[in-house]
Chains A and B, each alone.
Chain A
Amino acid sequence: MRSTRILSAADKLIEFDHVSFGYDPASTVLRDISASFQRGKVTAILGGSGCGKTTLLRLIGGVYPVRQGAVRIDGEAIDTRNAEQLYKLRRRLGMLFQFGALFTDLSVFENVAFPLREHTDLDETMIRDIVLMKLNAVGLRGAAPLRISQISGGMARRVALARAIALDPELLLYDEPFTGLDPIAMGVTANLIRKLNDATGATSLVVSHDVQECFEICDYAYIMAAPGVVIAHGRPEELNASDDPQVRQFIRGEPDGPVKFHYPAPPLAQDLGLTESR
């Protein structure tokens, strides 16, 4: 079941217009993807591993050029060879990587201060204030002097979030923010994502395979499947009520359905030698 959402041009912050992409000429990771992401909302991109959802984020960041179609930000197509356009684009976004991607040679404070030092001329006292406020927003102000090796994985992701919001970006990209976290940390993270989005009026894209957490915080969701296609999109309630077997299997976590449980193999009896092989 497809949603009949219609967005005005001004509402679409990001638009994928019949995008096809592959990391090398032989493979294709995304096939003819069309999707749009509404300004000011939290949109989830869900799917199993290998369906190409992280690739979407990388294309938005302008890391790779698309093979076909275009990725438009605010109506303007991304040209990966235009260094100035990429620079401006990346100044407007903040990305949270799956494991944080913190700079291991810097302290927690220095990590969050990094974008400020690189892109602004603010003096030290201002930088200190901003860093502490960002850390406070994620609840880690007390951890400022710690080194990266001293903090846990969950804390690392929160520091990375503080770093991602250091310059108050309009667009926040989250790559698998819930993976590997305990229920409390997951709840904290989900809460932060929603609160930040609402408080700053930013647009958030959350890539994940955790359906429950995402549905609790997102306004809209896209579901992708293995060959690199979108199989459904809509508001969480619409997707929950979907009849599509692929969507139902994914949302309910059913072990068998359109995505088979068994890896292709000859019949069991044949493997065990009980019947004559052909």
Chain B
Amino acid sequence: MEWLAAIGRHVIDVLRSLGHHATFFWELLRTLPASLRRPSFAVAQVHALGNLSLLVILSSGLAVGFVLALQTYYALATYGAADSVGLVVNLSLVRELGPVVTALLFAGRAGTSLTAEIGLMKAGEQLSAMELMAVDPKSRVLAPRFVGGIVAMPILALLFSAIGILGAYVVAVLLIGLDPGNFWSIMESGVDVRRDLGNGIIKSIVFGVICSFVAVYQGFEARPTPEGVARATTRTVVISSLTVLAMDFVLTALMFSTR
């Protein structure tokens, strides 16, 4: 019956890990008021995580917009509904692809840099040094990065969607030759600000919390060796991506259920 004990141990490990995540999250939240009293650190992090991700996000958004426009055109043209390309691209981006793809890219670029940075600080005993100087590393190092990620993510997602739509315009109107007036008006009448755009923003905020938290947690809990940091960065990407995709399913089901 050894495998039964092994499963039991595994379950207990998972539960302990979940509990550890939850306590860590709670401790992080508790440090927020103190750390926000000096906003310059969080601002610097918004720069590091947001501004410096712009290139990746904008170019990906443009590319996705191009491809989406092309593919939906091919699909819709068979039904004579080619004019709805703008609408389909907009809905796809604003409801789903904007928040989700941005979150995945964010986890890959910003999340890994966060984890590596914090992990290396841990390996170099910088976090212990801070602690012995009576400065709480969670408040001074982790909280600004956490906040920075949550602020940066929705902005990046909006930019992704916006530039995707512009990219779709380029392909649909300038390249394929669809009517620009129809492109915008059909889109305008079909996309609802509160339902589509609003829910998309809520999604990206939730994803921002997830990605920032996972990155910061993995960095802080990494083993202070080169292999430890490397494995932590990998774990950040994998765990962030999977959690984002799972939450996306839950949120989509909640938000876009047909009444």
Contact = CB atoms under 8 A, between A and B. Distances in A.
- Direct contact, A vs B (beta carbon within 8 Å): yes
Interface of A: 61, 63, 86-87, 90-91, 93-95, 97-99, 101-104, 114-115, 118-119
A86 B132 CA distance: 9
Binding site secondary structure of chain A = mixed
Contacts of B120: 104
B217 to A, nearest CB: 20
B129 A101 contact: yes
A97 B134 contact: no
A97 B133 contact: no
Interface residues of B, number: 13
A104 B126 contact: yes
B31 interface: no
A61 B132 contact: yes
B52 to A, nearest CB: 14
Given A94-B133, A118-B133, 6 more contacts: A61-B132, A90-B134, A95-B132, A101-B126, A115-B133, A118-B140
Contacts of B121: 103-104
B221 interface: no
B129 A97 contact: yes
Interface in B112-138: 120-121, 124-126, 128-129, 131-135
A63 B120 CA distance: 20
B129 A95 contact: yes
A114 B133 contact: yes
A103 B120 CA distance: 11
A90 B133 contact: yes
Contacts of B133: 90, 94, 114-115, 118
14 contacts: A61-B131, A61-B132, A63-B128, A87-B134, A99-B124, A99-B125, A101-B128, A101-B129, A103-B121, A104-B121, A114-B133, A115-B133, A115-B135, A118-B133
B20 to A, nearest CB: 16
A61 B135 CA distance: 13
Interface string B81-124: 00000000000000000000000000000000000000011001
Contact of B125 (A90, A101, A115): A101
A94 B129 CA distance: 9
Contacts of A86: 134
Contacts of B129: 95, 97, 101
B36 to A, nearest CB: 16
A160 B105 CA distance: 38
B131 A101 contact: no
A111 to B, nearest CB: 10
B132 A93 contact: yes
Contacts of B125: 97-99, 101
A101 B135 contact: no
Nearest to A57: B132
B64 to A, nearest CB: 34
A97 B122 CA distance: 13
A95 B125 CA distance: 12
Contact of B126 (A87, A90, A102): A102
A103 to B, nearest CB: 6
